[in-house]
Amino acid sequence: MRFLIALLMLSLPAFAEVADITPRDGWAVIRTSKPYDQLVADVKTAAKAHQMGIVTEAGPTDAAATRGITIPGNRVIGLFNNALAVQILNIDTHAMIEAPIRVYVTENTDGTATLSYKLPSAIYAPYSNALTPVATELDATFADIAAQAAN
């Protein structure tokens, strides 16, 4: 009988409890009034407007749904620019492991979405001090992308 109950429980859809993103050191966290799908689209539009290519995109929401698990919208979008990549390679080859810079769009419990990302200056801080100008430029670019996408 226990086996049948366990089997029944496993066959029911699952719901994952996921907390909203909160501020943390070295991150930008921008809570918006936009719905998740709209913020994802607006991030892509803003990235292109600021000459950043969409290099990667991944998220567990759809894959979880195929397994019967419901989780809030969750998407990581990797952004970068080849000209900056070449500059970084010329300064510190090791630092290219950090590219692309990822932005994170998460659906909040109230149906709105949050945009967050690690600050490029925090990401590149452990590498050569010669990367500071590039990291500063990336900080400004990502702040502009976030502001455009959030508004």
CATH topology for 2-150 is: TATA-Binding Protein (3.30.310)
pTM metric for this prediction: 0.85
Whether the per-residue pLDDT at 15 is higher than 50: the answer is no
Give the contacts of 43 (CB within 8 A, at least 6 positions apart).
77, 103, 105, 115, 145, 149
Span 26-82, pLDDT tens digits: 999 999 999 999 999 999 999 999 999 999 999 999 999 999 999 999 999 999 999
Taking the domains of the chain in order of start, what are their residue ranges? Answer: 2-150
Residue 112 reports pLDDT greater than 90: yes
pLDDT of residue 4: 43
Q: What does each C-alpha distance from 74 to 23, 55, 114, 127, 140 come to in angstroms?
A: 17, 17, 10, 30, 24
Residues of the chain with pLDDT > 90: what percent?
83
Q: What are 28-31's contacts with CB under 8 Å, separation 24+? A: 28/116, 28/117, 28/119, 28/142, 28/143, 28/146, 29/114, 29/115, 29/116, 30/114, 30/115, 30/116, 30/146, 30/150, 31/108, 31/112, 31/114
